Amino acid sequence: MAQQRIAIQLKKSAIAAGLALFLAAPGFAQENDTTIVAKVNGVEITERELALAEVDMLQQFAQTPAEDRRAAILNALIDIKLLAASAEEAGLDQTPNFKARMAFTRARTLHNELFQKQALDTIADDELQSRYDLEIKNFPQAEEVKARHILVETEEAAREIVAELDGGADFIELAKSKSTGPSGPQGGDLGYFGKGQMVPEFETAAFALENGKYTKDPVKSQFGWHVILKEDQRVTPPPAFDEVKDQVRQMIAREKYFALTQEARKKFKFEVLDEDLKAKIDALK
C-alpha cells in the first residue's frame, strides 16, 4: 500500500503530459550493426533494421518461441518489403494519403528521437535518487496497524471465541480452524492497513486496541462478527527507492518532455486555423 500511495503522490506532482506514447512506443533499438542479413529485390536488410523490426513487432510475435522469434520477424519483414515493392510498382507511394502518412511518421520518429536523446538518455541514477529523496521528505505521515481477525456469522460464536482466547487458546490456530474470512488459512493475518482501508467499525476497534490485545466485545460489520487482535502500530514507512525508481523516472521524463515542448513552442511559430479546435486547444493550457 505504501508503494501505491507514493505512486499517487508522484503522479500528482508530475506534469500531466501524454508520455505513454513515448515510454511505451517501440523504435529505440540499440542495435547499430550494419551487417546484411537478407536482400529483397536488391535492397539490403541490415541487423540494425531487423533490430528495429524486433522492437516494433515484439507484441505481435510474443507467443512465438524465443528461439524462433527472430527468424519469424525477419520473415515478416521480408513480406513487408515485398509488398512495399509491389505498392511502389503500382504507384501507391505517390498518393496524397501515402505522403501524408510518411510526413507524420517522419515527424513522430524525429520527435521520439529527440525525446530519447535529450530527455530519457539524460536521466542519471543520481538525479533519480535526488528526486526520490525530495519526494520522500513530503511523504504523508500516517498511522497504520497490523492486525489479525477471526470472522464468524453470529455474535454467540464470536463470544465463544473470546472465551477460548481468555482461556489461553492460540489466536492464530483459532483463526485457521474457525474463521470464515479469506484470511482464515493465514491465521487471520490482514497485514498493515491505514485508515480508510477497512470498514469503519473494524477500523475504529483495531486502532483503539493496545498492541497484543484483542477485542473483548466482538465487532459487528456487514461481513459478520469479528474478533480482532492488534499486533503492531507504526507510522507508514515510505517505499524503498528500488520499488518506485521507474515511477520517479517517468515523472522526471514528463517534466523534461514538457520543457522540450515549451522551448520548441517559443522557438518555432505555429497557428491553429480551425477556430473550434483553436478554442479547445487554448482551453487545455
- Give the domain range for residue 108: 2-132+246-284
pLDDT (0 to 100) of residue 284: 87
Residues 163, 117, single domain; the answer is no
Share of the chain above pLDDT 70, in %: 89
Q: With cut-offs at 50, 70 and 90, classify the pLDDT of residue 9.
A: very low
Whether residue 100 is predicted with pLDDT greater than 70 in this model: the reply is yes
Residue 227 counted as domain residue: yes
Per-residue pLDDT at 26: 44
* Whether residue 163 sits in one domain with residue 50: no
pTM score above 0.75: no
pLDDT in tens, 157-187: 999 999 999 999 999 999 999 999 999 999 9
87 in the same domain as 42: yes
Q: Do residues 6 and 128 share a domain?
A: yes
Residue 138 placed within a domain: no
| Residue 21 and residue 95 in one domain | yes
Q: What are the DSSP calls for the chain, one per residue? A: -HHHHHHHHHHHHS-----HHHHS-----------EEEEETTEEEEHHHHHHHHHHTTTTTTTS-HHHHHHHHHHHHHHHHHHHHHHHHTTGGGSHHHHHHHHHHHHHHHHHHHHHHHTGGG--HHHHHHHHHHHHHTPPP-EEEEEEEEEESSHHHHHHHHHHHHTT--HHHHHHHH--STTGGGTTEEEEEETTSS-HHHHHHHHHSPTT-B-SS-EEETTEEEEEEEEEEEEPPPPPHHHHHHHHHHHHHHHHHHHHHHHHHHHS------HHHHHHHHHH-
32 band by pLDDT with thresholds 50, 70 and 90: low
Query: Where is the domain boundary, 213, 235, 257?
Result: 235
Residue 192 belongs to a domain with what CATH number? 3.10.50.40
Residue 107 has pLDDT above 50, yes or no: yes
Residue 241 lies in a domain: no
Residue 255 domain flag: yes
Are 64 and 158 found together in one domain? Answer: no
Domain count, the chain: 2
Q: Which tens digits make up the pLDDT trace of 141-157?
A: 899 999 999 999 999 99
Is residue 12 domain-shared with residue 123, that is, in the same domain? yes
Tell me, yes or no, whether 240 lies in a domain.
no
Look at residue 140 in the predicted model and tell me its pLDDT: 80
**What is the reported pLDDT for 180?**
95
For residue 1, what pLDDT is reported? 40
The last residue of one of the domains, among 235, 255, 272, is: 235
